[in-house]
Amino acid sequence: MAGGRVIISVASGKGGTGKTLVATSMVLSLSDKGRVQLLDCDVEEPDAHLFLKPTFTHREAVSIPVPRVDERKCTYCGKCAEVCVYNAIAVMKEKVLIFPELCHGCGACSYLCPEGAISEEGKEIGVVESGYSNGVRFVHGKLSIGELMAPPIIRRVKQHVASEGIIIIDVSPGTSCPVVDAVKGSDFCLLVTEPTPFGLNDLVLAVELVRKLNIPCGVVLNRSGVGDRGVEEYCHRGNIPILLTIPLDIEIAAFYSRGIPLVEGIPQWRESFLNLFNKIGEILNK
């Protein structure tokens, strides 16, 4: 990982496994902060800024084009409702209803309206903010309350990916579209999980996803000491390396709850995270 660019996404099959703890400690463990960038793509609930406390220098609104119908031109033919796979348009006898919160801004309805009755207008769905935290370049996206379209905001956050250095992407939990958008294009994906049956169940789904995307992966086992050995046995069987183990520890939990990154609260952890980078480097260089 000496030169060039390496993108490492940090994902988890389920929420609350310590994904942000891992992502923030990774960026803070590196001494050459100018070469590090953190992108928080968990746009529904971004929280990396609570730990890194960046100073934001730039803010941009993110909009998607939603249709607007000129009923003077509309013949109520129903074509727009037919082509909208997201059910964001309904055509009644003499009324066209648009449900902006369901609209994905794909433009198919305006393109296919035979009367040219549909124009598009921008609808703000969230913001992207960027800045610095102790030299680390920081970008996050925030989906507005009530909005559902996370992918356009994630894509806008990812437009900020630096052309070189180490880029850490904090991904939203789960295995849905926003996760695919955030993880896509990564060189490596770290999957943070905990040693419980729930952790295992969600890890299996996350591994399937990253394998479909053809991205090498490894596991961070958080809260080790609770639960059972199911995750370890699964990783062993599937040849998935467990690259870091973090014990269930009241001191770690206390720092986390106060918004203090692990490597700042307990600096001895810095070496473990540097070791994590080395192990990822070895896998990528194989």
- Do the bridges between strand 136-143 and strand 118-133 make them parallel or antiparallel, or are there none, so unpaired? antiparallel
Query: Which position among 50, 77, 97, 284 is part of the footprint of ligand SF4 (CB under 6 A)?
Result: 77
Whichever of 62 and 203 has its CB closer to ligand SF4, that residue is: 62
The distance of closest approach from Cβ of residue 143 to ligand SF4 in the complex, given in angstroms and rounded to an integer, is: 17
DSSP conformation class of 34: G
The distance of closest approach from Cβ of residue 69 to ligand SF4 in the complex, given in angstroms and rounded to an integer, is: 5
Between CA 246 and CA 253, with CA 251 as vertex, the angle to 5 degrees is 70
The full DSSP string for 113-127 is: -TT--EEEEEEEEEE
In angstroms, the CA 196 to CA 10 distance is: 19
Q: How far is CA 124 from the centre of its chain?
A: 20
Q: Is 187 in the site for ligand SF4 (CB under 6 A)?
A: no
Amino acid at position 163, single letter: S
Max alpha carbon distance in the chain (Å)? 70
Q: Is 69 in the site for ligand SF4 (CB under 6 A)?
A: yes
Site map 223..262 versus ligand SF4, x via CB under 6 A = ----------------------------------------
How many amino acids of this chain bind ligand SF4 (CB under 6 A)?
A: 27
3-state secondary structure of 284: helix
Q: How many CA atoms lie within 13 A of 258 on its CB side?
A: 9
Query: Which position among 113, 235, 252, 276 is part of the footprint of ligand SF4 (CB under 6 A)?
Result: 113
Whichever of 63 and 196 has its CB closer to ligand SF4, that residue is: 63
Whichever of 34 and 78 has its CB closer to ligand SF4, that residue is: 78
Alpha helices in the chain (DSSP H): 19-29, 48-52, 79-83, 108-112, 150-158, 177-183, 197-212, 230-238, 250-257, 262-265, 269-285
Q: Is 63 in the site for ligand SF4 (CB under 6 A)?
A: no
Q: Is 109 in the site for ligand SF4 (CB under 6 A)?
A: yes
Query: Which position among 4, 15, 78, 135 is part of the footprint of ligand SF4 (CB under 6 A)?
Result: 78
Q: Is 86 in the site for ligand SF4 (CB under 6 A)?
A: yes
- Do the bridges between strand 5-11 and strand 188-193 make them parallel or antiparallel, or are there none, so unpaired? parallel
Length of the chain in terms of residues written: 286
The distance of closest approach from Cβ of residue 282 to ligand SF4 in the complex, given in angstroms and rounded to an integer, is: 45
Q: Residue 249: enclosing H or E segment and its boundaries?
A: none
Q: Is 118 in the site for ligand SF4 (CB under 6 A)?
A: yes
Query: Which position among 44, 115, 187, 249 is part of the footprint of ligand SF4 (CB under 6 A)?
Result: 115
Site map 133..172 versus ligand SF4, x via CB under 6 A = ----------------------------------------
Query: Which position among 44, 56, 74, 230 is part of the footprint of ligand SF4 (CB under 6 A)?
Result: 74
Q: How far is CA 135 from the centre of its chain?
A: 22
Query: Which position among 104, 155, 211, 279 is part of the footprint of ligand SF4 (CB under 6 A)?
Result: 104
Residue 20 dihedral angles phi and psi, to the nearest 5°? -70, -35
Query: Which position among 8, 39, 80, 219 is part of the footprint of ligand SF4 (CB under 6 A)?
Result: 80
Contact residues: ligand SF4, CB under 6 A: 67, 69, 74-80, 83-84, 86, 88-89, 91, 96, 103-109, 113, 115, 117-118
